[in-house]
Chains A and B, each alone.
Chain A
Amino acid sequence: MGKTISEKILSAHSGVDARAGQIVVAQLDFMMGQDGTSPLAIEAFREMGASRVSDPAKVAMVIDHSAPSPLEGVSRLHALMREFAREQGITFYDIGQGVCHCLIPERGHLSPGDLMVGADSHTCTYGAVNVFATGVGSTDLAAAMMTGKLWFKVPQTIRIILDGALPEGVCSKDLALWLAGKLTADGATYMAIEYEGEAIDEMSVEARFTLSNMAVEMGAKAGLMEADAKALQWMREHGARTLERVESDPDASFVETLEYRVHEVEPMVAKPHTVDNVAPVGELEGIRIDQGVIGTCTNGRVEDLEIAAGILRGRRVNPDVRLVVAPASQRVLLEGMDRGIIRDLVEAGAALVTPGCGPCVGTHNGVPGDGENVISTANRNFKGRMGNPNAFIYLASPATVAASVIEGSITDPRRYLSP
């Protein structure tokens, strides 16, 4: 019987005929940690009695969650990471380089068909370029650094076929939220998702990253796509070692195949305090907004900033609203500057912060006040997520955030489409 993408990648990296449900030990092509998880990984690495990472070329650490450091305690942990990176000769991205999930594919660390783990739950982002990538904790990262391997339960796969084209003004983020609403927060727990169909074919690679990024919001272990010509071209331009794609077989066994026609998807908003608590934007119009956030590993790439700038250009952020913009990487910031996108956003009234996670995880850069409403392009809106349990977080596309910060209330971005 045929195999899914997950079964093929895990077979190729374990040397056994890996099938869903089986447990395998597999060789990793890459591994990564960020500043919220790496310090504990370094501690666990030492506890394991390890002294050298098995292959420094396969390891990266990124300071993105609290960058630059807002506190003395954080600075101490950052120093621990810098020292470990120097000692081990691994790749190290210090403050201002960007969010790990933008950097890792952007800087040539991945090729289609790779197996990688990251000590961050949104590591599933790279499924968009045909990489089996999954989030692990710090101790698993330590084990991976020490041995170059990790054990995996081969996941079952849900196949999601997305027919048709997204209407104008509807972004891949809207589709990701819409799917979270359909499948719910644990609808894909322990499973991989394979996304395919015309809607995926039509999307840019950047837009695909947004969709794969949010696979974990449905509990999934990986959010995979096949590598078409567009993905291969993107990988070539971003330094992939090889360009061999992995596709699922026609007779592969899927636990479920879900087929949706996407032409009816509207701009969607996730209401507080769960990601699957979604509604079409029209049902929420008029809800007051105190702060907008554009950025994060979900929607902080050039295309996202461009969508927002397209709406904000020549307009002003409402005087009662703050808009925080965090480009997802230094390259995104530079390209955004070269193309005038950053100027458009700043002239409209945006506060630009360091490339990185921005205010998404509540460590700095825009912690909301009591009773305040935030509309954000991030991927999580849990109570307290942005550092204040008395604030309310709405999740939406860059277009919806841009339109909402102009109006000062949740707004359908299709009102701002150019005629």
Chain B
Amino acid sequence: MILRGKTRVFGDHVNTDYIISGRYKFKTLDMRELARHVMEDLRPDFAEEIETGDFIVAGINFGCGSSREQAPLAIKYAGISAVLASSFARIFYRNCINKGLPVVECDTWGIAEGDELEVDLGKGSITNLTQGTNLKAAPLPSVMSAILAEGGLAAYLKNHGSFEL
């Protein structure tokens, strides 16, 4: 799958409370409602600024904190096509794959706000069309690629009934 969009840049250690605050997440299973509050404590108008297909780009330890799956879901329902970060917190990383939100671990240093990127998930390559540079992504374990390819863990298990290594 090849994704193309503009970047929205954040810093290091963006935690799940920033992605979607506990003020909202316990109230509803309506992810469209939660998506309206994505990143609100860091950038109050972020949800409105997003254009469908945009990428979130961040530094180290993105998604640290709680295990709430509302975090990847709020990002996904807000119209973000993938998250690129220098490193991810492990529960968040796993949750993204399970919910079918592509995560790309790569050296994000140097990517600027509004850069146009082309991300080839299959090849693990990132082209910064604005800066004319190329980046390489850390490969996904095969079990994760298989889950992501089917759109998430629920679909994967519905199709396979169990885990296949």
* A is bound by B: yes
Report A's interface with B, CB cutoff 8 A.
Answer: 23-25, 35-37, 39-40, 43-44, 47-50, 65-66, 71, 73-74, 77, 119-121, 123, 135-140, 142-143, 146-147, 149-151, 153, 185-186, 189-190, 219, 221, 274, 361-363, 380, 382-385, 387, 389
Could you tell me if B26 and A36 are in contact, using CB atoms closer than 8 angstroms? yes
Report B's interface with A, CB cutoff 8 A.
Answer: 13, 15, 17-18, 21-23, 25-29, 41, 60-61, 64-70, 73, 87, 89-91, 94-95, 98-99, 141, 143, 152-155, 157-158, 161-163, 165
Which of A47, A73, A385 sits near B27, CB closer than 8 Å?
A73
Chain A-chain B contacts (Cβ-Cβ < 8 Å), number: 146
CA distance A48 to B156 in the complex (A): 8
CA distance A24 to B152 in the complex (A): 19
CA distance A50 to B157 in the complex (A): 9
Expressed in whole angstroms, the minimum distance between the Cβ of A134 and any Cβ of chain B is 8
Taking CB atoms, residues of chain A closer than 8 Å to B41 are 383-384, 389
Q: From B14, which residue of chain A is reached at the shortest CB distance?
A: A382
Taking CB atoms, residues of chain A closer than 8 Å to B21 are 362, 384, 387, 389
Taking CB atoms, residues of chain A closer than 8 Å to B91 are 121, 135-137
CA distance A139 to B150 in the complex (A): 14
Expressed in whole angstroms, the minimum distance between the Cβ of B102 and any Cβ of chain A is 16
Taking CB atoms, residues of chain B closer than 8 Å to A385 are 17, 22
Query: Can you sample 13 A-B contacts with CB below 8 Å?
Result: A36-B26, A39-B29, A48-B154, A137-B98, A139-B95, A139-B153, A143-B153, A147-B162, A151-B143, A189-B90, A382-B17, A382-B18, A385-B17
Expressed in whole angstroms, the minimum distance between the Cβ of A314 and any Cβ of chain B is 36
Residue of A35, A150, A219, A274 with highest tally of chain B CB at under 10 A: A219
Given contacts A135-B67, A274-B13, A384-B18, contact A25 B27 (CB under 8 A): no
Additional A-B contacts beyond A25-B165, A219-B61 (5; CB < 8 A): A77-B29, A121-B66, A138-B69, A139-B95, A140-B153
CA distance A380 to B17 in the complex (A): 10
CA distance A137 to B66 in the complex (A): 9
CA distance A185 to B11 in the complex (A): 14
Q: From A364, which residue of chain B is reached at the shortest CB distance?
A: B26
Could you tell me if B27 and A146 are in contact, using CB atoms closer than 8 angstroms? no
Expressed in whole angstroms, the minimum distance between the Cβ of A73 and any Cβ of chain B is 4
Expressed in whole angstroms, the minimum distance between the Cβ of A45 and any Cβ of chain B is 9
Q: From B66, which residue of chain A is reached at the shortest CB distance?
A: A121
Which of A40, A44, A136, A383 sits near B70, CB closer than 8 Å?
A40
Could you tell me if A363 and B154 are in contact, using CB atoms closer than 8 angstroms? no
Taking CB atoms, residues of chain B closer than 8 Å to A121 are 65-67, 91
Could you tell me if A139 and B99 are in contact, using CB atoms closer than 8 angstroms? yes
